[in-house]
């Protein structure tokens, strides 16, 4: 007959997502959780219990072990922990460790050491992202800064020798490059706000057709590519931050102009964004280029991703995706009928109490 006695609850240490090794005041291990055992190459966590900490915590850094390097039981009596460090496991995997030193009283001897261990893969990814950021910024900033510096220097050195037309051309170029720098800085600030969840929106009832028309007219003056706008009848208003909405439309159009071919077609039509909610709007932008392969559609909305052919900061679609989702909408990347890329995003309608 089966026992009605419930099974004992698992040790809380075993439930932690990071590896944990605990030793007593004599340096003898009293607990090893499964994550730590896996990282340290121990088949069974129980095998580590009762052994010296230096034997269980087999981590290497420049041919020196963790306990020999950190001497957790020695040092200043005020020491209460050991900050994050990078170590190599017996299998050669990078891990990050931190430690907490427990003392019976202020200034007393160490009575327990708790070491946490986690994989360093996440940090390696962050390091790569930082390197990508530095490389991208260096590349994107170098070109406009070089132009600004060159033309300013020419104006300073040859002002009396330049015609009014030449001066105007140089100053216009300086203005354009300065705008490019300002926009890059604004994009980086938006990325930081999206990443940290500090993006502030100021939504209000807005006419999507009016806002999109302004962007189409503005972008149309900077490209030879034909741009068209089709607006459905009885298009409802949208509850959006007009500035952020305009930024999304601008990024989508410029992306289509830069990476697509042929005409760029913009369409606005009613859409139900939230079930049971007010009717919203679906904004779609299509080109007639090669389209975006299915395997790349998730990557194109990540930070600093570029095709490597036509340049760009690699931030435009990342910001689009972040701003659309911040409004409660969705972004879909698909194949356009007849070829080309189709990027469509939905925007919420105006709530009944504000309509």
DSSP code per residue over 246-291: HHHHHHHHHHHHHH--S-EEEEEEEEE-STTS-EEEEEEEE-SSS-
- Check whether 6 has a pLDDT greater than 70: no
Distance of alpha carbon 340 from the chain centroid: 27
- Check whether 265 has a pLDDT greater than 80: yes
Helix (H, G, I), strand (E, B) or coil at 118: strand
Which tens digit of pLDDT belongs to each residue from 85-119? Answer: 888 888 888 889 999 999 988 778 999 999 999 98
Which tens digit of pLDDT belongs to each residue from 113-135? Answer: 999 999 877 666 666 666 766 77
- Residue 3: per-residue pLDDT: 44
CA distance 242 to 205: 9
CA distance 169 to 217: 24
The residue that leads in pLDDT, 230 or 296, is 230
Cβ(219)–Cβ(254) below 8 Å:
yes
Mean pLDDT along residues 137-149: 77
The residue that leads in pLDDT, 145 or 99, is 99
Strands 81-88 and 227-231: unpaired
- Check whether 44 has a pLDDT greater than 50: yes
H helix and E strand count, the chain: 9, 14
Q: Is residue 1 very low, low, confident or very high in pLDDT (cuts 50, 70, 90)?
A: very low
- Residue 344: per-residue pLDDT: 96
Question: Which domains can be identified in the chain, with CATH numbers?
Answer: 12-119 (3.30.450.20), 123-196 (1.10.287.130), 204-347 (3.30.565.10)
Q: Is residue 10 very low, low, confident or very high in pLDDT (cuts 50, 70, 90)?
A: low
Average pLDDT value for the chain: 86
- Which among 198, 180, 250 is positioned nearest to 221, based on CA atoms? 250
Residue written as token pair 């079930």: 275
Cβ(24)–Cβ(112) below 8 Å:
yes
CA distance 299 to 227: 26
CA distance 213 to 209: 6
% of the chain beyond a pLDDT of 70: 90
């Amino acid at each position: 007959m089966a026992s009605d006695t419930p099974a004992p609850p698992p040790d809380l240490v075993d439930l932690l997502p990071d590896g944990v090794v605990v030793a007593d005041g004599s340096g003898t291990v009293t607990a090893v959780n499964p994550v730590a055992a896996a990282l340290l190459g121990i088949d069974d966590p129980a095998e580590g219990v009762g052994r010296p900490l230096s034997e269980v915590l087999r981590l290497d850094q420049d041919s020196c072990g963790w306990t020999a390097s950190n001497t957790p039981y020695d040092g200043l009596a005020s020491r209460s922990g050991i900050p994050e460090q990078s170590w190599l496991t017996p299998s050669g995997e990078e891990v990050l460790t931190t430690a907490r030193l427990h003392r019976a009283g202020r200034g007393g001897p160490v009575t327990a050491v708790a070491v946490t261990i986690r994989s360093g893969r996440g940090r390696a990814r962050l390091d790569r992202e930082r390197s990508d950021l530095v490389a991208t910024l260096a590349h994107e900033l170098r070109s406009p800064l070089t132009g600004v510096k060159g033309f300013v220097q020419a104006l300073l050195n040859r002002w009396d020798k330049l015609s009014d037309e030449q001066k105007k051309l140089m100053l216009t170029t300086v203005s354009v490059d300065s705008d490019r720098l300002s926009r890059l800085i604004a994009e980086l600030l938006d990325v930081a706000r999206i990443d940290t969840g500090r993006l502030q929106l100021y939504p209000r009832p807005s006419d999507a057709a009016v806002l999109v028309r302004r962007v189409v007219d503005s972008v149309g003056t900077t490209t030879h590519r034909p741009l068209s706008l089709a607006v459905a009848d009885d298009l409802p208003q949208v509850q959006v931050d007009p500035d952020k909405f305009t930024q999304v439309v601008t990024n989508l159009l410029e992306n289509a102009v830069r990476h697509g071919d042929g005409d760029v077609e913009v369409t606005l039509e009613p859409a139900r964004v939230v079930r049971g909610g007010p009717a919203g709007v679906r904004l779609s932008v299509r080109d007639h280029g090669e389209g975006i392969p299915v395997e790349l559609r998730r990557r194109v909305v990540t930070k600093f991703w570029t095709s490597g052919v036509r340049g760009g900061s690699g931030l435009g679609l990342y910001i689009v995706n972040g701003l659309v989702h911040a409004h409660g909408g969705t972004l879909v990347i698909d194949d356009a009928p007849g070829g080309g890329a189709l990027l469509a995003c939905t925007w919420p309608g105006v709530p009944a109490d504000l309509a």
